[in-house]
Amino acid sequence: MKFTGERFIPQNNEDAEIYIEHYHRYLAAKPLVKDKVVLDAACGAGYGSFILSSEAKMVIGVDISEEAILHAKEQYKRDNLTYLMNSIEEIEVEDHSIDVVISFETIEHVEEELQHKFLKEIKRVLKKDGILIMSTPDREVYSQLVHYSNEYHVKEFAKIEYKQFLHLYFENIQFFTQGFKVASVINGDTSPNILKNINEARVDDDYSIDEKYLIAICSEKQESIEDIDFNSIVIESGKKYNNQIRRILDLQEEVEERNAHLKYLDKQIDEFTTALSNKELEIKELMQKYTSLDEESRKASQEFQMVVERLNHVEQSLSWRLVSKCNRIIDKLIPFNSKRRLIVSLGIRFMKEPKIFLKSVNKSSIKSFFTMLGQYDANSVLGQVDIALNSQEELSRVDIKLVDCEEKEKIIFEKFENPTVSIIIPVYNQFDYTYSCLKAIKENTKNVTYEIIIGDDVSNDETVNIFDYAENIKVNRHEKNTGFLMNCNDAAQVAIGKYVLFLNNDTNVQEDWLEPLVSLIESDEKIGMVGSKLVYLNGKLQEAGGIIWDDASGWNYGRLDDPNKPEYNYVKEVDYISGACIMLSMKLWKEIGGFDQRFIPAYYEDTDLAFEVRKRGLKVVYQPKSMVVHFEGISNGTDLNSGLKKYQVVNLEKFKEKWAKELKENHFPNAQNVFLAKDRSADKKRILVVDHYVPHYDQDAGGKCTYHYLKLFTKLGYKVTFIGDNFFKHEPYTGLLQQMGIEVLYGNWYYHSINEWLKLNAKYFDFVYMNRPHITEKYIDLIKQYSNAKIIYFGHDLHYLREQRNYEVTGEESLLESSANWKQKEFNLFNKSDIIHVVGNYEQSLIQKEMPNKIVRNIPLYIYDEFFKNKNGFKDRKDILFVGGFRHKPNEDAVLWFMNEIWPFVAKQNPQMKFYIVGSNPSEQIKALHSERVIVTGFISDEELETLYTSCRLVVAPLRYGAGVKGKIVEAIYYQIPVVTTSIGAEGLVDAEQVMIVENNYEKFAAKICTLYDDEINWNYFSEQEAKYICKHFSENAAISIINKDFN
């Protein structure tokens, strides 16, 4: 049995003062129990009962703790000593059967009501002439004087209170005090007992100490206690005292060491302060530059407006009408998408940029031009010419890191016994590129174990000496040249990794390229193959996954575009991924049998592999976080009519023949439905979600709610596109959605062109999920114009109701007008929507009453796919907590009301309690509340918030107005921490009063906090009910059962 501070354990306690105090009381009582029947109430470990049994006729030790009773029975045994596991309010002994009741340090551990029950029980068991010996700490000395709080003490007494309390039950009482005094002992070897010669000498008043403990001896009869002498002294040998002196000296040395460390930290702080000041100066300078640029922007905007006005004037002019008529004549003479139009367009481009045009013209480009002209329409050919011309620009779209290979020092790779990934690099000569590829892998690969395998197809350059340049790699060298495909297949036979990754040697992998591939393929057992984003040397995009059309021709999706655009930066399923960097499991590779040898020597083997993966019910997935620079064409050139490159045309026909049925049934005609083809979403339900910005799930309830439903939609297999009305790429939130497979639209183009985008693409969506009235009103008419999608509106809460309740609290007349405006706006959106989602049964009933023909669903505010396991119980917790973002005005009002009306009473009743106020964007009024006992944290991370949820004892939510289900309430229920709130806080939650305390009156609110804070039984009840409530109402299954009614 361990010493916790609640019960004294002699064997486990090194504190001499505590040790002596406890033993002294029992030793003093021992003469008074000679030949008596004794009850030792709250006997704890049993040592005291054992001391008394040496003189008493019989001793009964009673304690509520099973552990304590078992310990006592094991450690302290006598024939006249028994132990009972009882509560002090109900002791299993006969009426008036006890001569002496001992109660040392018991009464302060229970609440006031139980204290009185205990005294009544003592009166019941005591004989008429029996005595009670009871001790308790003096609150004024034990706690208040030294600002100490014993967490196990529930209600302590001051001296006068203790006397008044005992006199309610006993007329005859003798009072004593107990405490330590400073003493000097002279003691001879032959006369150890010094108790007979005690003199109290006060050398200095500074040594006078009030005694900590109050002891009372009580009886119904005066004669039972009038001759009792309870005065005594206990002398400790000094061994423990000396040990403590030595410990103090050790601690002093530690303090000196820490002081030295503090000086060092102070020095660092000074350095950081100086650096911070310098940064602040830099920021000031940047702000001045920003102001200057802002002024330039404003002037440019004015100039732009002037140009627009002039243009409008031109459009209305006679000359403009003549130009328009001329254009119509040109369209008749040179039709759109005709070869005549193509030749004229090429001539115009030559006249505009003759240098770039001539630079692009060579034998290879001319052949490619005529080849395309035979396969594609004139407009598509013109588009490819524009891409080629644009590629002459040296515009870097992304930050690219290329390794320096001029000095070829030896690259030493770490050797792993069981690598996760086998990286296979097929090579034929081009040693400089191979070395560069290896060095990039070494510099940019972290957190994944791997091996390098070079498949050498009989190179005759410096590749033959590769071991002089790289250590701990494998080389699989052929005796004769077999071509790219067989080189890969053969090299894979010596691989031992869980995954096999094929990487062209004309590549430079970028920072942290491998871990995202491994994490992605291991996140879903349905993913069979993954691949990287490929970019060119100039920073432009080569490919964000590939599209295969029904004629077997392919598109490198996004080629020569800006790789930072949102459409290229979300995880998505694709038709294929270029073999420059692809990865699949070794098990699947062997099951497929490697690259199909019908495509020897090269080309279309990677596309075929993707189709083989999909044939087995698995997905081919693009990972944009893994970026690889590809020097395309280094190995085999770009001329389709010569070298290995000519097999690209030959193998296209082989591929078309092998997969004819698949291409016909599951692929679009060339260049059609690119929106669906880019992520293979033709057979999926597609949802467009619109909100104010990407959900900040860790900052406010609305953001967390939106995030939970986005996560659920993707988990159910829907293709999700997200529009945040500010079109800003908030991080880390945007990246997290993209890694979930959600296409997030952001950036300047979408900000200015979202109407155009919707006009082109809204038709592809099956559902549109619109959040918040002020956002939905911007988009709903446009979406209804261009789409037949089912529109589901979710306002998060009724804004008009919130404003109305705010008026009822504050009396501000302007809020009534605001409420009326919101109501008109919200009900207009209800009418335009097909389905209405709300959180809470109250709002559901309000809307349903006014719109009986509308479908109104009450959905869970949060969705939990895992349930919290509460480890900290009642005794492991202290303090109270409020959580809520302060952009939401009801939260600010709640905290201010609580601090003015409720906290003063609660704080007085619980002098050690702290109140934590957690939430982003606190106002100056909220910040001003911060003190030693009121901690205003501002925004904190989810991990920090969970720590508070699991260490605080209660959550308070004193909301006076608002609408809808409150996220802070649901979150507290999830963490199984009991809640005290108002009817507004509990609104919308079914059977709320079964899982929380609901009170609107501030005095009762305060009283219920204090009661529940000290009531372990009720605390445990509410905590257990909360766990059941979350499983029933806020689980993933609960959400799916509701939304399936609308999304099927």
- How does pLDDT run across 385-419, given as a tens digit for each residue? 665 555 554 443 567 788 777 788 999 999 999 99
Q: Span 874-1047: which CATH code? A: 3.40.50.2000
303 pLDDT above the threshold of 60: yes
Choice among 138-142, 224-228, 484-488 with the minimum mean pLDDT: 224-228
Least confident among 276-290, 691-705, 746-760, 847-861: 276-290
What is the Rg, in whole angstroms, of the alpha carbon atoms belonging to the chain?
41
**Rounded-to-integer distance, Cα 1 and Cα 16, Å:** 19
Output the CA torsion sign for 717, 719, 724, 727. Answer: positive
Output the pLDDT for position 246.
62
Q: Of 637 and 1043, which is predicted with more confidence?
A: 1043
Whether pLDDT at 361 is above 80: no
Tell me the pLDDT tens digit for each residue of 167-177: 999 999 999 99
Average pLDDT over residues 846-875: 90
Residues 506, 568, 398, CA angle at the centre, nearest 5°?
55
Strand locations in 911-1014 (E): 915-918, 934-938, 954-957, 979-981, 997-998
Residue 835 half-sphere exposure toward CB, CA atoms < 13 A? 17
Whether CATH 3.90.550.10 fits 411-677? yes
Q: Strand, helix or coil at 916? A: strand
Residue 60: strand, helix, or coil:
strand
- Of 20-29, 480-489, 621-630, 709-718, the range with the lowest mean pLDDT is 20-29
* Angle, in degrees to the nearest 10, between helices 318-333 and 239-316: 90
Q: What confidence tens digit (pLDDT) does each residue in 304-314 have?
A: 666 656 555 55
Which pLDDT does position 288 carry in this prediction? 75
**Residue 829 binned pLDDT confidence (cut-offs 50, 70, 90):** very high
Other CB atoms within 10 A of residue 625 CB: 19
The reply to whether 686-854 shares the fold of 411-677 is no
> 71 pLDDT exceeds 50?
yes
Look at residue 195 and tell me whether its pLDDT is greater than 50.
Answer: no
The whole-number pLDDT of residue 640 equals 45
Whether 468 has a pLDDT exceeding 50, the answer reads yes
Cα 475 from Cα 255, distance rounded (Å): 61
Q: What average pLDDT does this structure show over 858-875? A: 88
The DSSP 8-state label assigned to residue 874 in this structure reads: G
Quickly tell me which residue has 């309690």 as its tokens: 913
- In this prediction, residue 689 carries a pLDDT of 98
Q: Is the pLDDT of residue 800 over 50?
A: yes
Gap between the Cα atoms of 76 and 722, Å rounded: 71
Asked if the model's pLDDT at residue 133 lies above 80, the reply is yes
The helix/strand count (H/E) of the chain reads as 36, 34
State yes or no: pLDDT of 634 exceeds 70. Answer: no
pLDDT over 50 (residue 893): yes
* Architecture of the CATH domain 10-236: 3-Layer(aba) Sandwich (3.40)
Selection from 548, 546, 566 nearest residue 556 by Cα: 546
The pair of three-digit structure tokens given for residue 163, joined into one six-digit string: 């006397």
Query: What pLDDT is stored for residue 761 in this prediction?
Result: 96
Give me the mean pLDDT over the 65-86 stretch.
92
Contacts 24+ apart (CB under 8 A), 514-518: 514/421, 514/445, 514/448, 514/450, 514/626, 515/446, 515/447, 515/448, 516/623, 516/625, 516/626, 517/583, 517/623, 517/626, 518/420, 518/421, 518/448, 518/583
- What number is the average pLDDT over the span 713-741? 95
List, for residues 766-796, the tens digit of each pLDDT value. 999 999 999 999 999 999 999 999 999 998 8
User: pLDDT digits over 952-983, tens only?
Assistant: 999 999 999 887 788 889 999 999 999 999 99
pLDDT surpasses 70 at 237: no
Q: What is the pLDDT of residue 289?
A: 72
pLDDT at residue 358, as a whole number:
67
Q: How many Cβ atoms from other residues are within 10 Å of residue 836's Cβ? A: 23
Between 115 and 638, the more confident residue is 115
712: Cβ contacts below 8 Å, ≥ 6 apart: 863, 1036, 1039, 1040, 1043
- Return the pLDDT at 191: 45
Residue 581 has pLDDT above 80, yes or no: yes
Question: Which tokens is 244 given?
Answer: 């403590």
The predicted structure's pLDDT at residue 190: 47
Residue ranges of domains in the chain: 10-236, 334-390, 411-677, 686-854, 874-1047
Whether the pTM exceeds 0.75: the reply is: no
pLDDT average, residue stretch 625-629: 97
Q: What is the mean pLDDT of the chain?
A: 86
Kindly list the strands in the beta sheet with 213-219, ordered across the sheet, starting from the edge strand earlier in the chain: 81-85, 58-63, 37-41, 98-104, 126-137, 213-219, 172-178
**Is the per-residue pLDDT at 638 higher than 70?**
no
Lowest mean pLDDT across 53-67, 401-415, 453-467, 502-516 = 401-415
Distance CA 880, CA 872 (A): 15
- Contact present, 922 and 886 (Cβ < 8 Å): yes
* Across 34-50, average pLDDT: 94
Topology annotation, domain 686-854: Rossmann fold (3.40.50)
Token pair listed for 771 = 């959040």
User: At 199, is the pLDDT very low, low, confident or very high (cuts 50, 70, 90)?
Assistant: very low
